[in-house]
Amino acid sequence: MKDRGIRHGDRRRQRDAMVQQQIIQRGVQTPEVIAALRKVPREKFIARALDEFAYDDAPLPIAEQQTISQPYIVAFMLDALQLTGHERVLEIGTGSGYAAALLAELAAEVVTLERYKSLADEARTVLQTLGYNTVEVIQSDGTLGWPERAPYGGIVVAAAAPEVPQALKEQLAIGGRLVIPVGTLDGQSLRCVTRVSEHDYQDEHLTQVRFVPLVGEAGWADLDNTPPGR
């Protein structure tokens, strides 16, 4: 098993290989997204025991029975936001913080919400250590969004909802895009909802996915009856 002592150059080659084989060859071509994936060290956002799998094309488990999504799905979702670099964006489901770091490379400001305090605290520490000072990590019910900082030029949801939460749609800026998995617990349609006017939205199916459930007031009920602040 590889350890944290692996040389920086080797890590760079692993990231480059991941981007070429898992991302570019599967259709994600936006230069800014590619550059972000080449830069952000995914190994910093997973447990030491999983270090050798950092750049595999697969999701990995993290604490609280959650996951860090496979690199391709993360790239695909961020690409769908079509960010220009000037937006304030909202992420629902901080997890380990990896996608928030990528968003920080693509947008001016990132607000990321995490239901579990332990995950929020750990992600905040890692992001601060890596110098991502434009990311604000908040422990909150992500299904309700964060209206205090709305509107957002983009919203990305890293958990599956039974339907698109109305609160998230209403927190989009005009022209903003919301990327969210919607469906059952067994599988979902990844949707892109674009706000075209104050009251009008366009809804597009992107691909089939499978995410952990989005738990909260406007999502699924707490399946294990565990308080979110544990």
Please calculate the CA angle 118-122-123 and round it to the nearest 5 degrees. 115
Clarify whether 140 is annotated catalytic. no
**Nearest residue to 111 via CA among 71, 144, 64, 79:** 144
The active-site residue, picked from 69, 140, 189, 197, is 69
Cα dihedral sign, 148-157-55-60: positive
The token pair that represents 6 in the structure block: 């692996």
Give yes or no for a cis peptide into 165 (omega within 30° of 0).
no
Provide the total of helices (H) and of strands (E) in the chain, helices listed first: 6, 9
Tokens of 50: 């999983």
Residues carrying an active site annotation: 69
